[in-house]
């Protein structure tokens, strides 16, 4: 599996990587610190990721702008994109869904819950336990 994650917060990138590698230690993770760097890396990449995760609030190019660019790119538009955020309200979520976001994932406040959510998204569990 190949996963791409863009977030300007180094700690969040580290937690995300730890969670993904807990789920599947053979996963290839590519990290980026903003939307502009993400687009540049994805456009020149030979192997496309299975999933893209984007933080909303990033410098240079935010997650919303990056999502719009991804969905406008014929090579990248079919990759599922999930938005990570601590602050996405209902209206913003609707806008992001219209732009093509596959779903939303709250940022990690509890590593175990974060791992459970990621397992569902990347197909290692059928559904979340309620």
pLDDT digits (tens, 9 = 90+) for 29-80: 999 999 999 999 999 988 899 999 999 989 999 999 999 999 999 999 999 9
CA distance 110 to 98: 29
Residue 128, in any domain of the structure = no
How many domains is the chain built from? 1
pLDDT-based confidence at residue 127 (cuts at 50, 70, 90): very low
Which is nearest to 121 in space by CA: 27, 14, 42, 37?
Answer: 27
Q: What SS3 state is found at 40?
A: helix
Residue 21, in any domain of the structure = yes
Distance, C-alpha 66 to centroid of its chain? 11
Q: Which CATH number do you get for residue 100?
A: 3.40.50.2300
Residue 130, in any domain of the structure = no
Residue 52, in any domain of the structure = yes
pLDDT-based confidence at residue 124 (cuts at 50, 70, 90): low
Residue 87, in any domain of the structure = yes
Give the percent of the chain with pLDDT over 70: 93
Phi, psi of 55 (to 5 degrees): -75, 150
Residue 106: DSSP 8-state: E
Q: What is the mean pLDDT of the chain?
A: 88
Residue 17, in any domain of the structure = yes
pLDDT at 19: 93
Domain of 8? 2-121
pLDDT at 51: 96
Residue 73, in any domain of the structure = yes
The answer, yes or no, to whether residue 126 has pLDDT greater than 60, is no
Residue 126, in any domain of the structure = no
């Amino acid at each position: 599996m190949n996963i791409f994650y863009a977030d300007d917060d180094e700690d969040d990138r580290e937690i995300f990587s730890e969670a993904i590698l807990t789920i599947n230690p053979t996963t290839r993770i590519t990290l980026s610190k903003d939307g502009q760097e993400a687009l540049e890396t994805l456009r020149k990449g030979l192997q496309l990721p299975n999933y893209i995760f984007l933080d909303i609030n990033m410098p240079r190019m935010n997650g919303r702008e990056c999502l719009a660019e991804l969905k406008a790119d014929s090579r990248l538009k079919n990759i599922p994109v999930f938005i990570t955020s601590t602050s996405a309200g209902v209206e913003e979520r609707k806008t992001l869904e219209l732009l093509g976001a596959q779903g939303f994932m709250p940022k990690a406040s509890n590593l175990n819950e974060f791992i459970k959510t990621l397992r569902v998204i990347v197909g290692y569990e059928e559904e979340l336990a309620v």
